């Protein structure tokens, strides 16, 4: 039996007996400072986001400066939201809530100001400047460079002293749920942050990705979520003056969230090389997380029962209510999109971007705004413009709804195109209008945030801070807690339950350890063993130049649009090549797998595109891919495309090394012949319909590989059908070919200035159907002409018809005299046959070593003018030399006539 004297000695009871003057102080100065910093950084971060979004529609916009390029702005957008906006908002809330929850002031005002300066002037501001200057870490939610990460860790250690220590000293047994989340979140993030930021620099590739995946989710799940949920659990009862529905449920939710959230991380890498057990574990945890959130949100909404009027009248509560509802929606969405059938469809698309904006704005930002508005109105002497705040709410709500709806649909459209055989650029074209809407939706959001800021510094100065007695809530709510005996919570069933702060501390440490053991360390060990077992011993490393190029690739944010992770899905394999194996990433420090595709995957870039195409693409992507939204990188060139800087050359070298190890090692052939393949397949994809079961050497799996199976595409013979094909082919040509070949097919497109060999002048030769089919199907090795076999056969046939229509009908075989032909024949045999073959079929003894291959004059029939021009000048960029200095004009003339005699009959040459 507990005596009244014992009860009186309990910390909670002592707390209740304190006079008002003895209550702990609240650091209002620090609250104001963090609120101000949060809103300043919020506006900048949203501006960065709007610039990023604008560049999808206008890729050249502010594209001339490295520090304003898409990738760096994207890094600063998310890191600004994470550290600048939400970090400061949470810190402001801690200074307000911790003294109330712990009944002790925060540990030290000086420490608080030190933390403020560290957070804003050693983390946020230098982080932004360094990223803009090109010093960053290409890992999601970890983009600030390592030197800044060190200060982040220091800040979290300081937070432990500032905010957790008061709870430890208070020794309260009745720790309110917000305090549990604050303690658990700080401890967990203090441990998880260095592991998620530093370890991928030390653990390469797929193993590092296991750690990165955890941090991606922990950043949202155990930094953003606990503190936002803590605010919701605080603001709701403080505003309604009624206890939350069930503290028991809130505790169940706390434990489930802390158990399941850390286990979610690997769901960012479903169908990857990470062991399938870890992937499926993450998926199951994601589903459980959805259930946990249902429980948490149910508790929140039941706490508001009977107070719907309050939620509409009280603006801070309305912000929190919107955030809570968004939390439910985004969590259920997250659970669903982790499921494999959904994930294979929507992963890498804008759907996920919509999901993350719903999480960071709809859930976290709305609740943070509600928390700030709530505490602001309770600080004596502050101003508040409720009308402006009301406008802020509606602008934010409307802008966000538009953005999420738009991005979700855009994601579905992208997914649909990616499932098809349409060229990648079609997915970019298909969502261009959605990207414009997304940009526009950012404007009301930015305005809403600005109005919120203005609402805190304008309007009438509050005559008195809002209190229980001045709140708008019905007075009858007061009785709900007044009658509960103050000491009931001290009657802890067992002594150890009285140390709630220790348990919360343990939750942070324990779940951190569990998640990293289960989802990072153990899978990492499995991957390490697999790599040792299957990695080719001759696997080449990156050269110094390629390594420097890799740094440029990371610095410019390339990994945020281009994955280097071909998933074990038939649609990925068909489009990009064999699935990425863990051993291919064994030298990737840090991993660059990426979690988003705006451009295509680059894992198999080796031997796909030539140097001049790559450089032209980097200088101005739209020169070679007309509707590309990739930003230009002029700072990697000295004024023109033909003069790349050393960094440009390094990046080129790196791009051309991607997939080299796989192609040179003969791994795929070995795999097909060994039992290792079965072992890996079993480990990674035991019960899934696996693309790994598809032989990775199937020709179509390699985008640049030559395929003998190229179909011969004959245009329609019916004139009406032919006309229709030519018309459609013209449209396709304008969309896909004109940037290089020119709108009239004369090989004078914008990109032609920097391509070597030049794009073919399609009006200067007649091509056979076989030749055009082969080029469209396989590309032209040694030139910038890529394979287009991903286009539907009907489209390829239409292109063949259109290219035929470009040809001027003047190509006729030679009708010269026999003497001339004989001279030409001997000249041809002496000078040309070694490459072009005795019969001009392009199959001379030297032909096999040449790329592009020598012309086969039976399949490609240049006009007389073109043939003459080639003999005079050669074909730069190919093995064809100029013959002007070696052969006289008469000899060249005889040679032209002989070559034209190889073309075939006049009927054949007129296309009949």
Question: Taking CB under 8 A as the criterion, which residues in 220-259 touch other proteins?
Answer: 234, 237-238, 241-244, 246-248, 250-252, 255-256, 259
Choices 375-383, 424-432, 439-447, 790-798; region in contact with other proteins by CB under 8 A: 375-383
The count of chain residues that interact with other proteins, using the rule CB under 8 A, is 77
Dist CA 522 CA 498 (whole Å) = 35
Of positions 89, 388, 397, 518, contacts other proteins by CB under 8 A: 518
Of positions 125, 398, 430, 492, contacts other proteins by CB under 8 A: 492
- Per CB under 8 A, contacts with other proteins among 378-417 are 378, 380-381
As measured in angstroms, the least distance from the Cβ of 337 to other proteins is: 19
Residue owning tokens 């076989």: 770
As measured in angstroms, the least distance from the Cβ of 497 to other proteins is: 7
Query: By CB under 8 A, is residue 814 in contact with other proteins?
Result: no
Choices 19-27, 441-449, 573-581, 806-814; region in contact with other proteins by CB under 8 A: 19-27
Q: Are 105 and 164 in contact (CB under 8 A)?
A: no
Residue owning tokens 């909670």: 12
Nearer to other proteins, 100 or 622 (CB): 100
The total number of residues shown for the chain amounts to 912
Dihedral over alpha carbons 867, 869, 871, 873 (to 10 degrees): -150
Q: Are 230 and 181 in contact (CB under 8 A)?
A: yes
DSSP class of residue 766?
E
As measured in angstroms, the least distance from the Cβ of 465 to other proteins is: 5
As measured in angstroms, the least distance from the Cβ of 140 to other proteins is: 23
φ/ψ (deg, to 5) at 39 = -75, -35
Among residues 279, 397, 399, the alpha carbon closest in space to that of 347 is found at: 279
Query: By CB under 8 A, is residue 58 in contact with other proteins?
Result: no
Query: By CB under 8 A, is residue 3 in contact with other proteins?
Result: no
Nearer to other proteins, 28 or 868 (CB): 28
Q: Which tokens belong to 669?
A: 């052939």
Among residues 85, 129, 348, 397, the alpha carbon closest in space to that of 224 is found at: 85
Nearer to other proteins, 454 or 492 (CB): 492
DSSP class of residue 379?
S
Nearer to other proteins, 185 or 237 (CB): 237
Nearer to other proteins, 112 or 759 (CB): 112
Nearer to other proteins, 10 or 667 (CB): 10
In angstroms, the Cα distances linking 465 to 231, 371, 784, 864 are 19, 15, 70, 91
Among residues 479, 497, 485, 499, the alpha carbon closest in space to that of 7 is found at: 485
Query: By CB under 8 A, is residue 711 in contact with other proteins?
Result: no
As measured in angstroms, the least distance from the Cβ of 108 to other proteins is: 4
DSSP class of residue 542?
P
Nearer to other proteins, 127 or 290 (CB): 290
- Per CB under 8 A, contacts with other proteins among 266-305 are 277-278, 280-281, 284-285, 288
Nearer to other proteins, 290 or 590 (CB): 290
Nearer to other proteins, 226 or 837 (CB): 226
Nearer to other proteins, 335 or 441 (CB): 335
Binding string, residues 441-480; x marks residues near other proteins by CB under 8 A: -----------------------xxxxxxx----------
Per residue in 682-712, is it b (16+ CB within 10 Å) or e — as a string?
ebbbeebebbbebebeeebbbbbbeeeebee
Most distant CA atoms of the chain, gap in Å:
128
Query: By CB under 8 A, is residue 688 in contact with other proteins?
Result: no
Q: Are 699 and 709 in contact (CB under 8 A)?
A: yes
Cβ count within 10 A of residue 71: 25
CA atoms within 13 A on the CB side of 410: 28
Query: By CB under 8 A, is residue 886 in contact with other proteins?
Result: no
Nearer to other proteins, 107 or 690 (CB): 107
**From its phi and psi, is residue 312 left (phi > 0), alpha (psi between -120 and 50) or beta?**
alpha
Query: By CB under 8 A, is residue 157 in contact with other proteins?
Result: no
Query: By CB under 8 A, is residue 626 in contact with other proteins?
Result: no
Query: By CB under 8 A, is residue 504 in contact with other proteins?
Result: no
As measured in angstroms, the least distance from the Cβ of 166 to other proteins is: 7
As measured in angstroms, the least distance from the Cβ of 272 to other proteins is: 16
Spell out the alpha helix ranges (H) of 578-718: 611-619, 646-655, 660-665, 667-673, 676-685
Query: By CB under 8 A, is residue 27 in contact with other proteins?
Result: yes
Query: By CB under 8 A, is residue 530 in contact with other proteins?
Result: no
As measured in angstroms, the least distance from the Cβ of 20 to other proteins is: 4
As measured in angstroms, the least distance from the Cβ of 25 to other proteins is: 5
As measured in angstroms, the least distance from the Cβ of 12 to other proteins is: 6
Q: Are 555 and 67 in contact (CB under 8 A)?
A: no
As measured in angstroms, the least distance from the Cβ of 240 to other proteins is: 10
Q: Are 504 and 551 in contact (CB under 8 A)?
A: no
Of positions 149, 174, 414, 612, contacts other proteins by CB under 8 A: 174
- Per CB under 8 A, contacts with other proteins among 78-117 are 99-101, 103-105, 107-110
As measured in angstroms, the least distance from the Cβ of 652 to other proteins is: 42
Query: By CB under 8 A, is residue 42 in contact with other proteins?
Result: no
Query: By CB under 8 A, is residue 163 in contact with other proteins?
Result: no
Nearer to other proteins, 262 or 786 (CB): 262
Residue owning tokens 């870039």: 605
Choices 196-204, 485-493, 711-719, 801-809; region in contact with other proteins by CB under 8 A: 485-493
Q: Give the distance, in angstroms, between the CA of residue 288 and the centroid of all CA atoms in the same chain.
A: 25
Dist CA 510 CA 503 (whole Å) = 10
Query: By CB under 8 A, is residue 484 in contact with other proteins?
Result: yes
Nearer to other proteins, 72 or 378 (CB): 378
**Cis bond upstream, residue 416 (ω within 30):** no
Among residues 60, 76, 54, 80, the alpha carbon closest in space to that of 438 is found at: 54
Nearer to other proteins, 99 or 842 (CB): 99
Nearer to other proteins, 280 or 611 (CB): 280
Of positions 26, 31, 186, 273, contacts other proteins by CB under 8 A: 26
Nearer to other proteins, 494 or 912 (CB): 494
Report the run of H or E that residue 128 belongs to, with start and end: helix 125-133
**From its phi and psi, is residue 108 left (phi > 0), alpha (psi between -120 and 50) or beta?**
beta
Nearer to other proteins, 334 or 837 (CB): 334
Of positions 9, 25, 669, 910, contacts other proteins by CB under 8 A: 25
Query: By CB under 8 A, is residue 20 in contact with other proteins?
Result: yes
Coil, helix or strand at residue 383: strand
Query: By CB under 8 A, is residue 177 in contact with other proteins?
Result: yes
Binding string, residues 339-358; x marks residues near other proteins by CB under 8 A: --------------------
Per residue in 271-294, is it b (16+ CB within 10 Å) or e — as a string?
bbbbbbbbbbbbbebbbbbbebbe
Residue owning tokens 């009907």: 794
Q: Beta partners for 767? A: 860
DSSP codes, 391-431:
HHHHHHHHHHHHHHHHHHHHHHHHHHHHHSSS-HHHHHHHT
Residue owning tokens 């003459």: 868
Of positions 443, 491, 513, 679, contacts other proteins by CB under 8 A: 491
Query: By CB under 8 A, is residue 28 in contact with other proteins?
Result: yes
Query: By CB under 8 A, is residue 687 in contact with other proteins?
Result: no
């Amino acid at each position: 039996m507990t005596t009244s004297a014992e009860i009186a000695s309990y910390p909670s009871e002592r707390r209740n007996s304190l006079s008002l003057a003895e209550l702990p102080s609240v650091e209002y100065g620090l609250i104001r400072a963090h609120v101000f910093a949060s809103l300043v950084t919020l506006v900048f971060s949203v501006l960065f986001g709007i610039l990023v979004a604008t560049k999808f529609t206008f890729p050249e916009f502010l594209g001339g400066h490295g520090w304003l390029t898409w990738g760096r702005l994207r890094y600063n957008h998310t890191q600004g939201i994470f550290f600048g906006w939400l970090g400061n908002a949470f810190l402001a809330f801690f200074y307000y809530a911790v003294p109330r929850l712990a009944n002790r002031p925060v540990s030290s005002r000086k420490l608080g100001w030190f933390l403020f300066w560290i957070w804003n002037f050693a983390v946020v501001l230098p982080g932004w400047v360094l990223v803009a200057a090109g010093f960053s870490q290409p890992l999601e939610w970890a983009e600030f460079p390592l030197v800044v990460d060190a200060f982040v860790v220091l800040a979290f250690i300081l937070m432990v002293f500032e905010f957790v220590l008061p709870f430890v000293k208070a020794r309260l047994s009745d720790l309110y749920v917000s305090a549990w989340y604050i303690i658990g979140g700080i401890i967990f993030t203090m441990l998880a942050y260095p592991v998620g930021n530093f370890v991928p620099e030390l653990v390469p590739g797929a193993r590092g990705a296991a750690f990165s995946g955890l941090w991606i989710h922990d950043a949202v799940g155990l930094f953003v979520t606990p503190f936002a949920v803590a605010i919701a659990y605080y603001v709701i009862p403080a505003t309604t003056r009624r206890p939350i529905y069930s503290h028991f449920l809130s505790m169940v939710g706390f434990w489930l969230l802390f158990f399941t959230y850390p286990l979610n991380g690997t769901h960012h890498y479903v169908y990857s090389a990470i062991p399938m057990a870890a992937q499926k574990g993450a998926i199951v945890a994601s589903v459980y997380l959805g259930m946990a959130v249902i429980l948490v949100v149910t508790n929140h909404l039941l706490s508001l029962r009977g107070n719907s009027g309050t939620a509409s009248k009280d603006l801070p509560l309305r912000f929190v209510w919107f955030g809570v509802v968004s939390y439910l929606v985004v969590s259920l969405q997250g659970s669903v999109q982790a499921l494999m059938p959904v994930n294979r469809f929507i992963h890498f698309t804008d759907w996920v971007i919509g999901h993350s904006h719903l999480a960071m704005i709809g859930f976290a930002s709305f609740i943070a705004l509600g928390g700030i508005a709530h505490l602001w109105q309770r600080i004596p002497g502050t101003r508040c413009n409720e009308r402006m705040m009301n406008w802020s709410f509606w602008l934010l709500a409307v802008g966000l709804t538009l953005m999420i709806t738009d991005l979700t649909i855009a994601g579905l459209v992208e997914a649909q195109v990616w499932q098809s055989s349409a060229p990648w650029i079609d997915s970019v074209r298909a969502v261009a209008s959605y990207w414009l809407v997304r940009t526009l939706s950012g404007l009301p959001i930015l305005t809403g945030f600005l109005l919120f800021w203005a609402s805190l510094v304008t309007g009438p100065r509050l005559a008195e801070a809002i209190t229980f007695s001045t709140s708008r809530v019905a007075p009858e709510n007061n009785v709900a807690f007044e009658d509960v005996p103050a000491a009931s919570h001290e009657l802890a069933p067992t002594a150890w339950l009285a140390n709630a702060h220790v348990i919360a501390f343990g939750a942070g440490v324990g779940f951190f350890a569990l998640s990293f053991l289960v989802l990072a360390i153990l899978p990492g060990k499995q991957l390490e063993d697999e790599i040792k077992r299957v990695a080719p011993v001759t696997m080449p490393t990156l050269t110094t130049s390629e390594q420097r190029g890799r740094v440029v690739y990371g610095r410019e944010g390339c990994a945020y649009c281009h994955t280097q992770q071909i998933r074990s899905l038939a649609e990925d394999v068909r489009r990009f090549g064999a699935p990425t194996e863990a051993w291919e990433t064994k030298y990737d420090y840090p991993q660059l797998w990426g979690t988003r595709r705006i451009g295509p995957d680059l894992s198999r870039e080796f031997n796909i595109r030539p140097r001049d195409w790559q450089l032209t693409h980097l200088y101005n992507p739209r020169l070679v891919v007309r509707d590309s939204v990739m930003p230009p990188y002029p700072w990697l060139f000295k004024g023109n495309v033909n003069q790349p800087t050393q960094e440009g050359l390094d990046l080129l070298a790196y791009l051309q090394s991607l997939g080299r190890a796989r192609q040179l090692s003969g791994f795929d052939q070995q795999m097909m012949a060994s039992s290792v393949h079965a072992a890996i397949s079993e480990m990674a994809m035991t019960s899934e319909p696996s693309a790994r079961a598809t032989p990775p050497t199937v020709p179509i799996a390699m985008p640049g590989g030559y395929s003998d199976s190229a179909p011969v595409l004959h245009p329609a013979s019916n004139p009406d059908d032919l006309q229709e094909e030519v018309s459609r082919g013209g449209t396709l040509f304008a969309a896909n070919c004109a940037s290089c070949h020119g709108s009239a097919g004369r090989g004078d497109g914008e990109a032609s200035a920097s391509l070597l060999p030049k794009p073919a002048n399609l009006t200067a030769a007649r091509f056979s159907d076989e030749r055009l089919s082969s080029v469209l199907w396989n590309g032209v090795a040694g030139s910038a002409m890529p394979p287009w076999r991903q286009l539907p056969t009907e489209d390829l046939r239409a292109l063949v018809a259109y290219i035929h229509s470009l040809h001027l009908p003047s190509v006729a075989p030679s009708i010269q005299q026999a003497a001339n032909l004989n001279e030409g024949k001997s000249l041809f045999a002496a000078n040309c046959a070694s490459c072009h073959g005795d019969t001009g079929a392009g199959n001379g003894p030297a032909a096999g070593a040449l790329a592009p291959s020598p012309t086969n004059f039976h399949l490609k029939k240049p006009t007389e003018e073109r043939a003459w021009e080639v003999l005079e000048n050669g074909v730069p960029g190919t093995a064809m030399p100029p013959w002007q200095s070696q052969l006289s004009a008469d000899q060249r003339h005889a040679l032209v006539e002989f070559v034209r005699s190889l073309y075939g009959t006049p009927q054949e040459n007129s296309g009949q």
